[in-house]
Amino acid sequence: MKDDLSQYKDLFITESNDRIQNLNNLLLEYEKSPQKETLNSLMREAHTLKGMAATMEYSKMAFLCHVLEDIFDYARYGLLNLKEKKDLFNELFDAFDVLGKSLKKIEKDNIEGDCSVISKKLKECSGVKTEGTGPSLRIAGKPIVEPDKPENKKEINKNTDSQEDNTVNTLVNEFTPEKIENIRIKVDIVDNLMSITEELIISKLKIEKIIKTENWENLPKIYGPLETLINELQREVMKARLVPINFSFQRFARMVRDLAEKEGKKVNLEIEGGDIEFDRSVVEEIGVPLVHLLRNAVDHGIVKSGVVKIKAQRLQNYALVEVSDDGVGIDLEEIKKTAIKKGIISLDDVKNIKEQQVMSLIFNPQFSTSKNISSISGRGVGLSVVKNSVEAFRGSVQVKSEKGKGTTFILKFPLTLAITKAMIVKISQKLFAVSVSDVYRIITLVSKDLKKIANEITFILDKEDVLILFPQEIFYGEEVNLENEMDVLALKSGEEKFALKIDEILGEQEIVVKPIPPHFKNKYVSGVTVLEDGQIVPILNISGFLST
C-alpha cells in the first residue's frame, strides 16, 4: 500500500467491518424472506466495499467483492435463484468471513489475506463471469449468464463435505465479539471535553502560581471549581465510552443460523434493545457468556423449531440482558436425579433444597443432563463458563424455566466496569470495598434476632429467612461471638438475599476498579481499588459467597 494511503487504514478497517456486518444481516434477512429490495441492498454494500478495497489497493478483496456484487446482480434480475442453491448461501456466508479475516490481517500485518479460493468457489457455484474489478459485461442492461457445469457442482459438493468435518465449536469461536478498537464519538462530547481541558489548564496555571508564591490560602478557592471540572470530565469520558450493545448482538444472528442448520433445526433469533448503549468494557465482556447461552438454547432448548430471544435493558445502575427460548424448558426432577447420580448433592440435601437452588445446579461444571454429547454442547461446562464469566465482571446470572414452556437466563452486571460507588467496610481490622448497588440494607442485629438451623445462622428479613455469612471465619478463621450486637450488610445477588457480618462502615465513595492479576484470583474478590492514602483495598465479589 502506498504511503499516502496508509493514513486511511484504520478508517478503512472500521468502515469495512460495518459493511461486512451489513452483508451478513442482509443475507440472513433474504434467507428468511426473499425480497428484491434486499438484493439491491446486498449489491450496494458489495459494490461500496469493492470500491473502498480497490481505492486502498487491496485487489484480492476488491475482486471477491466484485464476485459478490455480480451474484446479487444476477439474483435481482432473476438469472440466479439463491433460494434453490443452499450450497451457494453457505459459500456467501463463508465469503463474508474471509473478508473479515482479510481485514484482521491488514490490521496486524498491513497485507490483505488470500481471497482467491472462495472467489473461485463462488464463480463456479453461481456461474458469474466476473473478471477484474471494473464494470461487468452486460447485454441489454442485464449481466451475462454462464450456465453451471456438472463438474463444478461435483467439486462444490466435495468441498461442502470437507467443511462438515469442522467442529461447530470452531465456528462459534469465530463469532465471539472481539475487543473494540475504535469508537465513534459524538461531536458535542468532543467539544465538551475540549472545553473542560481548557478550564483544567487554567486551573493548573493557578495552582502553579500558588506553589511559586506559597500563597496557600487561595488553594481552597481553586479546589471547588477543580473538583467540579474533574466530575464533568468523568461524566463526558463515560459517555464517550458508550457503545450500542448491538455491537455484540448483531453477530449472533449468523451464529444461531449456522448452529441451527448444523442441528437440522429451524430457529429464529429475535433481538430487543440492541440500540441501548453500555460501557465499552461491558459490551466486550458480555460476548463470551452470550455465545454459550445461545449454543445451549439451540442444542438443549429448541427441539425442532422455535424462537430464541436476546433482550437488553438498563435498570438503575445495572445492565440487564436476557436470553430466552420457547423450547422444552428445564425438568427440575431430572436435575435432582442427575445431581445425585454425579455426587453433586446428597439425598438428604434434596429434601430441603429450594427450587432456585435446584436451578443453580446446572451451573456446576460437573453437571449435564444431555443424553448425547454433541459438538455444540452437552459436556456440562458451558453454563459453568457463563457463571464464571459474568461473576468475573461483578455480575450475576439467574435462570427461570417452566417445563414445556421455555427457559430464560438473566444476566445482571454493572453499567461500567471501570468506576463504581462503593461502601468501604472493616472486616477483622482490614478494609474491603462493597459495591453500593449490591447492598440491599444495613441492619444491626442482637442475639435474639438470630436463628440457628444446623450449622447455619439466619435472621428474618422481609418475612423470609436470610443466611448470615461470616467473612471473619472464611478469610481468617476467627470465631464470631453471637452474643454481641452485630452489624450486617444485607446483600442481593439476582433473586438471592444473604448477609455479611462486618465490623464497621467507614463510608461511601466512588472507586476506580482495577483487575486482579491472574495468580491472585479469588472467588471472594472481583478486583481491587486504591484509596486516596495509597491503600490497596480488595473489592468483594458478592456472587462468590453464594457458593461458600
Q: Is the pLDDT of residue 534 over 50?
A: yes
Average of per-residue pLDDT values in the chain: 82
User: Is residue 377 in some structural domain?
Assistant: yes
Looking at residue 150, its pLDDT comes to: 37
Domain final position from 209, 225, 240:
240
Give the number of residues written for the chain.
Answer: 548
User: Among 244, 251, 250, 228, which residue's Cα sits nearest to residue 176?
Assistant: 251
List Cα–Cα distances, 162 to 146, 168, 255, 497, in angstroms.
26, 13, 20, 52
Stretch 220-226: mean pLDDT, rounded?
88
Higher pLDDT: 358 or 180? It is: 358
Could you tell me if residue 180 is inside a domain? Answer: no
Domain shared by 111 and 233, yes or no: no
Instruction: List, for residues 402-436, the tens digit of each pLDDT value.
Output: 888 999 999 988 777 777 889 999 999 999 999 89
In a domain, 374, yes or no: yes
Q: Which domain holds residue 457?
A: 419-545
Clarify whether residues 267 and 221 are in a common domain. no
Asked if 487 and 379 sit in the same domain, the reply is no
In which band, very low, low, confident or very high, does the pLDDT at 180 lie, cut at 50, 70 and 90?
A: low
Judge if 443 and 495 occupy the same domain: yes
Which class for 72: exposed (0-12), middle (13-18), buried (19 or more C-beta within 10 A)?
buried
Q: Give the residue with greater pLDDT, 291 vs 516.
A: 291
Reported confidence tier of residue 382, pLDDT bands at 50, 70, 90 = low
Average pLDDT on 139-166 reads 42
pLDDT at residue number 347? 80
Q: Do residues 17 and 95 share a domain? A: yes
Q: Tell me, yes or no, whether 258 and 302 share the same domain.
A: yes
Q: What is the pLDDT of residue 142?
A: 59
Angle at alpha carbon of residue 370, lines to 365 and 371, rounded to 5°: 135
Is residue 352 in a domain?
yes
The yes-or-no verdict on residue 448 having pLDDT over 50 is yes
Residue 441's CATH number: 2.30.30.40
Judged by average pLDDT, the poorest of 20-34, 306-320, 339-353 is 339-353
Q: In terms of domains, do 251 and 399 share one?
A: yes
* Strand boundaries in 342-393, DSSP class E: none
Alpha helix positions (H), 393-523: 471-476
Identify the pLDDT of residue 240. 87
182 domain residue, yes or no: no
Q: Is the pLDDT confidence value at 242 over 80?
A: yes
- Split at pLDDT 50, 70, 90, the class of 158 is very low
CA dist 130 and 64 (Å) reads 9
Q: Of 204, 223, 240, which marks where a domain is finished?
A: 240
Phi-psi region of 244 (alpha: psi -120 to 50; beta: other; left: phi over 0): beta
Residues 117 and 86 in one domain: yes
CB 473 within 8 A of CB 545: no
pLDDT at residue 489 in the model: 94
More confident residue, 91 or 380: 91
What is the count of structural domains for the chain?
4
Show the cell assigned to 40: 439491491
**Do the domain assignments include residue 172?**
no
Does any domain span residue 151? yes
- Average pLDDT on 392-411 reads 87
Take residue 12 and report the three cell numbers written for it: 478503512
Can you spell out the DSSP letters for 72-85?
HHHHHTTSS-GGG-
Mean pLDDT of 215-241: 88
Is the backbone of residue 309 left (phi > 0), alpha (psi -120 to 50) or beta? beta
Shared domain check, 391 and 250: yes
Same domain, 141 and 17: yes
Contacts of 133 (CB under 8 A, 6+ apart): 50, 54, 59, 62, 63, 66
CA atoms 163, 169, 173, 176: torsion sign: positive
For residues 359 and 348, what is the distance between their CA atoms, to the nearest angstrom? 17
What mean pLDDT is predicted for residues 127-147? 66
Give mean pLDDT, residues 366-381: 52
Q: Are residues 267 and 405 in the same domain?
A: yes
The answer to the question of residue 479 being in a domain is yes
CATH number at residue 26: 1.20.120.160
Note whether 21 and 67 are same-domain residues: yes
Cell of 159: 468441498
